[in-house]
Amino acid sequence: MCGIFGCVLSEGSAAPIIHRALERLEYRGYDSVGEATVYGGRVHVKKAAGKIGEIHKLLNLDDLPGSVGIGHTRWATHGKPSDRNAHPLFDCKENVAVVHNGIIENYQELKDMLIEKGHSFISDTDTEIIPHLIEENISLGLEKAVMEAVRKFEGRYAIAAISSDENMLVGVRRGSPLIVGRSENKTFIASDIPAFLNHTNQVMYLDDNEMVVIDGNVRFFNTETGQSIEKRLITINWDAKQAEKGEYPYFVIKEIMEQKETIMRAINQDENTILRTAEEIKRAYGTFFTGCGTAGKVCMAGEYIFSKVAKKHVNFVISSEFPNYKHFLTDKTLLITISQSGETADLMEAVETARKMGVKVLSLVNVMGSSLYRNSDYAFLLNAGPEKAVASTKATTAQLALVTLLAYAVAGRLQEGKRLLMETASKVNDMLNPRYEARIAELARKLKDSQSIYIIGRSLNYPMAMEAAIKIMELSNIHAQGFAGGELKHGPLALIQDGTPCIVFAANDETRVDIISNAMEVKARGGYIIGVSPRNNEVFDYWIKVPDVGNASPVVNIIPIQILAYHLALLRGCDPDYCRNLAKSVTVK
Ligand code: M6R
């Protein structure tokens, strides 16, 4: 949700580096792009609304002088996407430039105060108050002026600032991610590591209320106390290639295909840690799963998997609603959080709420060093590698596999769970072949003009029906909705007309007879039935075969729908990587 970037080079031009970094951060927002550099006592800027490729053609983003600069790719919150609202934003004299990710909650009050003092504003953004606040104290130097300014903001943010008179970059973090990368003669700050991964894998994480000042040196401070802080350099085991599309036309199809390996990587965890965690889960009195969007659907599947496999009840609450449950939290409660990015604002707020009540936090997260990873008592890395497409795919199946493994560990059947998931990983490897994709692409051609697509499932596959709907909606912009099979007759059947497509997850388990009956009910009203199942059935108008993997069925069932949603996106002219109105890593509430 907005990508910010900054760099200080000992020599050479910053602009091409900022441009490449913004391309890698584009998944965080694609409403506008901008960059600014310092050279010859001036701040130079290029910015406009639109996608980075188009803007580069118009403005040549590689062509700005100077070796210190900042950049921004925007997901609009305050103020619609426009050239005027594009970051960087400036003070009155255009000496201070700022990029920002997050929301300044008290911006209106600060704006009124600044206007009264004579400042003039040109954008509709909350961000613009930041350069003007810095301007108030710029005579003290950028470092001190930023420190004074941030003490006045409220909200969640990460910012980067430069000024015309200093070869210096200042970054501050509170609630939105900001990471420092260092190579021998270049230092970077960015919202996400892939922005600079082609230069270095040596990073330092900023925590909340921390500031980094980069000139010849790199110094860290606490913004509340002003005290300096020591940081450890950490080596990241991602390589730059993992964050590129390679031979694939889009990140999302690359990431779907990577599921040949990522499920195996997710379950390849230290067994002692799994067993210790299982004991923690058993000991907890009151356990909650929480996450947002797709990760939330995995949490809901986790509730079913734990109930079925471990005979343990775990509550599921989507993160944005979690604060309503604070009355049930004690120091014996365990919160299990699931997230790809580890930066989702609603989830981080749930963690904050839980922490205040003394709750322990266990996380399943993909991004090492993310806010969630660092704020957890116990954390498992999903090891799926960078997920760049807005639609989550490989992180989802990694999360499902790991939740399933944990449930088996809690049941005292870790080895059985491991064997099941290894078999699942190997069957996914066989499944993801060109013939399989072609069969699903054929189905996409049949469904591409549908008004709505419904998906039904029962038990473990009810949450997957809802996840399938998220994939279809965000990728193809077709209305889609997932239901529990048993709920149809209580309302949704009214939506079925001649030809209405209905995807049916019919696992080979105790729910099969009932879900097939539900499919019959839809078919009797004219519905077009697409069966996702290990076995064909006469009710299916179109059958997508999936392997029979018992309790791991959610992992294999969702994959053909990811492929279907991708092909629907292509056929309908939607960008499969950059879903309309959405962004990866949702750092606003
Ligand atoms: O990074 P997270 O897993 O915490 O993100 C949660 C959701 O924003 C995310 O899953 C979202 O729903 C995806 N776009 C779905 O594909």
* Per-residue model confidence as pLDDT tens digits over 182-196: 999 999 999 999 899
Q: State residue 214's pLDDT score.
A: 98
The pTM of this model reads: 0.85
Question: What domains appear along the chain, each with residue ranges and CATH number?
Answer: 3-243 (3.60.20.10), 251-432 (3.40.50.10490), 433-589 (3.40.50.10490)
Query: Given the CA of residue 292, which atom of ligand 1 is nearest to it?
Result: 6
Measured by CA distance, the residue closest to atom 10 of ligand 1 is: 294
- Which residues on adjacent β-strands are paired with residue 221? 211, 228
Distance (Å) from CA 350 to ligand 1 centroid: 15
| For residues 238-244, average pLDDT | 76
Do residues 168 and 142 make contact, with C-beta atoms less than 8 angstroms apart? yes
Distance (Å) from CA 366 to ligand 1 centroid: 12
Per-residue pLDDT tens over the stretch 255-293: 999 999 999 999 999 999 999 999 999 999 999 999 999
- Using alpha carbons only, what angle is made at residue 368 by residues 346 and 336, rounded to the nearest 5 degrees? 45
Measured by CA distance, the residue closest to atom 8 of ligand 1 is: 293
Sign of the C-alpha dihedral computed for residues 382, 383, 386 and 389 taken in this order: negative
Confidence of residue 42 (pLDDT cuts 50, 70, 90): very high
Confidence of residue 14 (pLDDT cuts 50, 70, 90): very high
Q: State residue 588's pLDDT score.
A: 75
> What are the strands of the beta sheet with 287-291, ordered from one edge?
315-318, 287-291, 334-339, 360-365, 378-381
Q: Which of 14, 26, 29, 87 is nearest to 53 (CA)?
A: 26
Q: Is 537 helix (H, G, I), strand (E, B) or coil?
A: coil
Whose structure tokens read 């270095």? Answer: 200
Distance (Å) from CA 76 to ligand 1 centroid: 18
First-to-last alpha carbon distance for the chain, in angstroms, is 11
Q: State residue 500's pLDDT score.
A: 98
Mutate to test the pocket of ligand 1, among 341, 380, 464, 472 (most ligand atoms within 8 A of CB): 341
Q: What sections of 137-175 are H helices per DSSP? A: 142-150
Query: Given the CA of residue 582, which atom of ligand 1 is nearest to it?
Result: 14
Distance (Å) from CA 290 to ligand 1 centroid: 12
Q: Which of 583, 539, 438 is nearest to 101 (CA)?
A: 583
- Tokens, residue 489: 């007759």
- Tokens, residue 415: 């080895």
Measured by CA distance, the residue closest to atom 16 of ligand 1 is: 391
Distance (Å) from CA 129 to ligand 1 centroid: 30
Do residues 77 and 126 make contact, with C-beta atoms less than 8 angstroms apart? yes
Mutate to test the pocket of ligand 1, among 192, 294, 561 (most ligand atoms within 8 A of CB): 294
Query: Given the CA of residue 293, which atom of ligand 1 is nearest to it?
Result: 12
Residues in the chain, total: 589
Mutate to test the pocket of ligand 1, among 289, 290, 292 (most ligand atoms within 8 A of CB): 292
Distance (Å) from CA 339 to ligand 1 centroid: 7
179 alpha-carbon distance from chain centroid = 16
- Using alpha carbons only, what angle is made at residue 262 by residues 277 and 305, rounded to the nearest 5 degrees? 45
Q: State residue 81's pLDDT score.
A: 86
Q: State residue 34's pLDDT score.
A: 97
> Which positions ≥6 away from 218 have C-beta within 8 Å?
180, 182, 187, 204, 212
Per-residue pLDDT tens over the stretch 524-543: 999 999 999 999 999 999 99
Q: State residue 156's pLDDT score.
A: 86
| For residues 317-346, average pLDDT | 95
567 vs 565: CA distance, rounded Å: 6
Whose structure tokens read 């072609």? Answer: 438
Q: Is 344 helix (H, G, I), strand (E, B) or coil?
A: coil
- Tokens, residue 59: 């403005």
7 vs 498: CA distance, rounded Å: 58
Distance (Å) from CA 490 to ligand 1 centroid: 30
Q: Which of 273, 252, 523 is nearest to 380 (CA)?
A: 273
Query: Given the CA of residue 392, which atom of ligand 1 is nearest to it?
Result: 16
On the question of pLDDT at 583 being above 90, the answer is no
Whose structure tokens read 């989830």? Answer: 347
Q: State residue 175's pLDDT score.
A: 87
Q: Could you give the residue numbers annotated as active site?
A: 2, 584
What residues are in contact with ligand 1 under a 6 Å CB criterion?
A: 292-295, 339-341, 344, 347, 390-392, 470, 474, 582, 585-586
Q: Which of 271, 293, 195 is nearest to 236 (CA)?
A: 195
Query: Given the CA of residue 471, which atom of ligand 1 is nearest to it?
Result: 16
Q: State residue 27's pLDDT score.
A: 86
On the question of pLDDT at 516 being above 80, the answer is yes
Q: State residue 587's pLDDT score.
A: 76
> Which positions ≥6 away from 175 have C-beta within 8 Å?
102, 155, 156, 157, 158, 208, 345, 348, 371, 587
Measured by CA distance, the residue closest to atom 11 of ligand 1 is: 293
- Tokens, residue 542: 């179109």
Query: Given the CA of residue 347, which atom of ligand 1 is nearest to it?
Result: 4
| For residues 204-209, average pLDDT | 93
Measured by CA distance, the residue closest to atom 12 of ligand 1 is: 293
